[in-house]
Every structure is written in C-alpha cells, then in structure tokens.
Structure 1
C-alpha cells in the first residue's frame, strides 16, 4: 500500500494524540482473549496469561515491578479473567456523504475519524472491524487486532464510491445479526435518514446489549445554510434540481434541520446512546481527543 493512501486516512499527529487515550467500554465486556478491561464476571479462578506494555492510565497495582527492576521497562500483568472487546466501525457511504470538497468531504472526514479510532483500539490489543453500507451492506472487514487489520480497512475504504441512497435501518439490522453480543458499535453517518426506522434498528442493537456511539458527520453548510442569492441545489440521492433564492428558504430549512437534530437527540436519550457531533471544518484531532477524554472522565465517575 502506498504512503499516499495511508496518509489519506491517517494523520500521524492525530494518531500520537489518541494513542494514550483508549476507548474504554462503559458496559459489560466479555471476550476470549486477554486484554486490558475488567470482566463483568466473578467467582472464577484468575490465571496469569502474560504481559503487555504499560499504558498511561493503567492501574499501578497491575504493574510487574519485579520485571521492571530486571529490565527497566514498565509492563502490566494480564490474566485470563481480563477480557478483550470487539468494536465494530459502521460507515455510511451513501451519496449524501460525498457532500463537501477535499478534506471537508463528509465521507473522507468520517473515514479519517474511523481509522484514527481503529488505531487507538488496536493499540490496546482489542479487536476492530469495519463495515460499509448505503442501500445495502456493501462489504465488511472481519474483526482483527494487528496493524495489518488497519491496512485491510484502509484498502477497503480506498475502493468505495458513494453513489446510492441510504437504507440505514435495514443495513443496521442486517449487521446486528452478524455480530456477537455485548460489543461496541460506532456508526459514522450524517443521519439524514428516517429517524423512526433508525430507532427501531437501534433497539435491536440495544437488545443484544451493545454499547452504541453515533458519530454524526456534517458539513458547515448543513448546519448554517451559508448560501446567498440565486442557488441551484442538486440532489445527491435524488435526481431533482431546485433553483431558488437562498434567503427565501433559509429560515424554513433551519427550522426543519433543528427539528431533525432534536428528534435524534431524543432518540439517543431514550436509548442511552452516545451522540458525537462532528463538523468537517473543525480539527478532527482536537474533537477526538476531547471525546476520548470525556469517556475517561465518565468512566472514572
């Protein structure tokens, strides 16, 4: 894979900043591999399984100080009762996600966010998968936890082309049926879809006890409608064209957009789902670090 493709989806500055800010699961974690997370199970024997490098934030009680004095390196003891989690990255590649130019295109921004988080997850010896969807599930990369997994996901992203409408609810139900239970699901989309159907699909995920995070990716134009004069609007998922004076429709558009946002917020509140709004004009590294810091603060509380 060429360095130009890697740099399209990975920013070394962002990777360095998220490396010591892990995604810690807020709910139950059950797995069959040694990882860095507490098991929800108790009452079983705890068996030593090996070491891994210390990461800032690890409990000092788990540091193997004897090994430190011998090798001058901080390592953490791992046990069989410590478990891994699987994180599923689900990326909406429908036509509306191609709005925006260059680095501010929603799809590229979302893919960049997904790969940065994927890097952080793999760095903690946890598994990550990737699936893309529009009007159907297009392809998926099964869970893995090596750096090779990151290359597989990037290679998949570099081959997609957003041209179809979204049928998000149907795709999420399809993907839920392929997952295990009690895993983390992160969905990257603009969520400009039928929210009633979306809530039904999210209910299915919650029934399987998944932790769900919605990363809502929007372009600044969609939030503020910064258009003036006579403008021709072209449908990305429809073939319609709409020529109008921007000032005549701004107020109506913003009212409809705010209603949609309020409804999405209410769905997240009712279902205990995290919603992370991201805007493509903002620095992605700053926003991801802020989000990961907040997850750690919530976990500590």
Structure 2
C-alpha cells in the first residue's frame, strides 16, 4: 500500500533528472545539524577546509598535531561553518484544486511537484515538512530529513479530499506563527482570491527573514481559456453553474486572469517573494528544472 501511494506522487524519470540538483537557501541559514550551507553561527556543525600556520593567540586545541610531527611546525586546522535548513511545503487542498483530469489535475500536480522537491531536499540531508490548507490548516507532517518522511507526506496527501473553499491568508498567517528561525517556505496554490489579502502574512514571513516561494499552479484551461462553442461551467467552491457561448466571455476572462496575475506579482515584488507560474500541461520535470536553474542563477548573482 505504501509503495503504491508513493509511486502516485514520485516519478522515477522525474527524480533522475532533478535529484542531483542542489537547493540552496538564500543567505545564511540557522540549523542544528551538519549540512551543506554556510551558517552565521560558530563552534559547531563545521567542515574541515584547510590549514594555516599557527600565530600566537590561536587556540592550541585547533593545532593539527599529526602535521606537526611530520613538518615540525605548528599548523591550525581551519573549518567552514556549515548547517542544515528546513523547507516547508504548503499545499492548497481547497475544492478549486480539483480542477483538471489525470496528471493535469491541479491538486495532484501540486502534490507531485512538492513531493519531488521534498525528495531532492532530503537527499541533501536537509529537512522537509508538509502542511495542507484550505480555509485553515488541515494537516501537518513535522520536519524530518529521513526518506521515511516521503511515505508520511504522501500518505497524508492521499487521505485529503478537497471540499472546502480557498482562504489562503489566514492559513498562511497561522503557519507563520509556528516558525521560529529563518527557513524556506514553498506554497503551492492556484491563489484564487484577492492577492492583497496575502500582503500581511507575506510581510510577517519576510520580516522573520524566511525565504518564501509561491508556485502559482493553474490548469492550461485557466491560463488560456481554450474552450469552443456553448459550454456549461460548474462551480467547485460554490453551488453555481452557468451556460455561455465561450467566444462571448473569452476576452474578458483572459483580461481578468492577466490582472489577477499582475496584482499577485506586485504583492510578491513588494515583499521580495518569488512567484513561479505553473501550467499543469507542462512536464513536471521541466517546470522544476527551470525553477532550480533560475534559483541557482539568482544565488550566484548575490
């Protein structure tokens, strides 16, 4: 049962393309285990970097005595401060995320994207947590860097039934209150709602210096509105339906989507939050590789 659930969210072909790509935090991170990221702390979680000659005042405990006996000179062992980070994966499980069929369903695509990202983070010995939300937080899998975490995450995702309406801001604010130190927060949602409502929770996360990334997950139909003729539209979060000639509303709909996306981008830019548009018709590996390449370029430019 566990293996079948895991295979629903993790594709071996996708993993083979992204597993070796490092996910680096932006700036210094705080952690409590040895990892691969520079830390502002000292005195623990360090990796050997090289030697330098001893000078008066150096702590004798850092003298490399083996080198002394071979070179007859005192050398100090130098270390690079390192630590781990924790990444939090927040997935919108509201009813609107049910839209789409098969692998292009928004909920499934977002879950696969998040789980694949989580696998890559765990492989580099960093921790991952999972939270699901709609109007409020629905579930939480505490952070871990064990591969068993992937089973816990996918089992939780498989038990979720998207039925409630979307209300991201309160859920994001509630989650922000649980975070203490600087960490990475990835949010996967269609962000159907007023983008201005995200201002306060994003400000709170950024004030605490968390690295925040929003994955704006939408079905290709929602991005492009490629419907033809007379179509009946059914509400997923409201009990409503209407039938219309698609040509009559296409232009207005696309303008509304463009305006909504513009407002979301503006909120993100004001708060120095990255927003990644995702079309579920695109191969998942391409979306993730494009994002990781972009993130790597940004980190090198800092």
TM-score bracket, shorter-length normalisation: 0.7 to 0.9
1:220/1:281 contact within 8 Å kept: yes
State the superposition RMSD in angstroms. Answer: 2.0
* Correspondence 1:1-301 to 2 at 5 A: 1-41=1-41, 44-45=42-43, 81-301=81-301
2:46/2:82 contact within 8 Å kept: no
Q: Give me the whole-angstrom Cα distance separating, in 2, the residues matched to 1:89 and 1:2.
A: 20
Deviations 1:225-271 (A, max 9, x none): 11121111111111011111111111111111100011111111111
- TM-score of the aligned structures, taking structure 1 as reference length: 0.87
Structure 1 residue 276, shift from structure 2 partner: 1.1
Report the more deviating stretch, 107-116 or 238-247. 238-247
Report the more deviating stretch, 98-107 or 80-89. 80-89
Structure 1 residue 40, shift from structure 2 partner: 2.8
Q: Give me the whole-angstrom Cα distance separating, in 2, the residues matched to 1:79 and 1:132.
A: 39
- TM-score of the aligned structures, taking structure 2 as reference length: 0.87
- The equivalent of 1:67 in structure 2 is none
Aligned residue pairs: how many?
Answer: 274
Decide which structure has the larger Cα Rg and report it.
Answer: 2
Report the more deviating stretch, 24-33 or 110-119. 24-33
Q: Give me the whole-angstrom Cα distance separating, in 1, the residues matched to 2:291 and 2:154.
A: 23
Structure 1 residue 4, shift from structure 2 partner: 2.4
Structure 1 residue 46, shift from structure 2 partner: 6.0
Q: 1:226 to 1:40 in 2, by over 3 A?
A: same
Unpaired runs of at least 5, structure 1:
51-77
Q: 1:32 to 1:46 in 2, by over 3 A?
A: closer
SS in 1 for 2:83: coil
Q: Give me the whole-angstrom Cα distance separating, in 1, the residues matched to 2:270 and 2:46.
A: 41
Structure 1 residue 294, shift from structure 2 partner: 1.8
2:135/2:164 contact within 8 Å kept: yes
Structure 1 residue 48, shift from structure 2 partner: 5.1
SS in 2 for 1:24: coil
Q: Give me the whole-angstrom Cα distance separating, in 2, the residues matched to 1:47 and 1:158.
A: 36
1:46/1:79 contact within 8 Å kept: no
SS in 2 for 1:82: strand
Unpaired runs of at least 5, structure 2:
49-77
Q: 1:240 to 1:14 in 2, by over 3 A?
A: same
